[in-house]
Amino acid sequence: MPRFILVALLASTLAPAALASDGPDEKEPFFSVANDEDIGPYIVGPNGRAVYMFDTQTRGGDGLPPLESCGPRCREAWPPLVVAPVTTKNLSVSDGLDPNLAGSVTDGDKLVASYNGHPLFYFNREGESEGPSGHGIHTHGGWWIALAPNGNAIRTGTIPSETDY
């Protein structure tokens, strides 16, 4: 019995220190920048996957807000980047990104990461550190667009401009 107490006591004193030092938020920024030879620099999430805004307001869009437009079937292919618990200060950014543009928006009982006011989504067909293969896809009521480091949509190819209604 004394050996058990000693092991339990040792584990309880070491565990908080180990947990505090292993948190990913303390070592890696939440948002960082990757580069693609076709579209240039774009924003990636905490696991190196491209993040996308959902443009539902331009040509071919359904006119609904992105989180409203993307229903259950859409969210299977394009899951929102949910963060919890979160405050804006938790969404740290790497060099080249503006920390004032990083935030979150409410989606029901969840918080979804945002950048420059755009709720962000992943593309379920991309893995970690893969290029932005979801960029320029038109589906589920709008366009899926990668974001430039300044927070603006990267409008390439057939993606309509913001004034193209």
Would the pLDDT of 84 be above 90?
no
Helix (H) or strand (E) holding 13: helix 2-22
pLDDT at residue number 12: 38
Would the pLDDT of 90 be above 90?
no
Q: How confident is the model at residue 65 (pLDDT cuts 50, 70, 90)?
A: very high
Distances (CA, A) of 79 to 40, 62, 161: 24, 19, 24
* Residue 96 maps to a domain: yes
* Residue 113 maps to a domain: yes
* Residue 73 maps to a domain: yes
Q: Is residue 19 within 8 Å of residue 99, measured between CB atoms?
A: no
* Residue 159 maps to a domain: no
Q: Which residue has tokens 């992943």?
A: 122
Whole domain around residue 110: which residue ranges?
24-146
Would the pLDDT of 8 be above 60?
no
Q: How many domains does the chain have?
A: 1
pLDDT at residue number 129: 75
* Residue 18 maps to a domain: no
DSSP output for 43-76: EE-TTS-B-EEEE-SSTT--SS-HHHHS-HHHHH
Q: What is the pLDDT of residues 15-46, one digit of tens each?
A: 333 333 333 445 678 999 999 999 999 999 98
